[in-house]
Amino acid sequence: MPIDPAQLARSLGALGSLDVEQGLAVTLPQVLRSAKTLLDADRAALMLIDQAGALRWANASDPGVEAVAGGLSVPVQVGGGPVGTLDVYVTGPREWDDTETAALQAYAGLVASLLATTVTARVPGRLADQLQAALEHRSRIEQATLPSDRLAQA
């Protein structure tokens, strides 16, 4: 489903009142729900690299979605390198177009800004700790990044 630039701008603009002081546990779900709605997906999720170098769920819009037939994933970059991925999933087969990829990349930029602000402000919490570990181990994400940001369709 092609995403019109004005539609993307409205979707991101509606998030203009995010309050970083509330912490990532409040702001990230808002961003994920908005991305999920814009991309007409069944689930949106943020994965961050952990201290062992593996990607781990950091937050998801809907933890109950089980069967995934397709997905789209883009890197989230903080401090000049990837620290995780922003992903959307659908339960039915789907071809993703370039406008959808660009829209998810715009959301990944917003997530990166929230994460960077959280680290800079030293906002405490599990997600902030997970981000710090991701920053320390991001070279593993750089090595694991495939040329294509698209997940294989099942």
pLDDT digits 0-9 by tens, 52-91: 877 877 777 776 656 688 899 999 998 888 889 999 999 8
What is the rounded CA–CA span in Å between residue 28 and residue 145? Answer: 23
Q: Is the dihedral of CA 149, 41, 60, 17 positive or negative?
A: positive
Could you tell me the pTM of the whole model?
A: 0.77
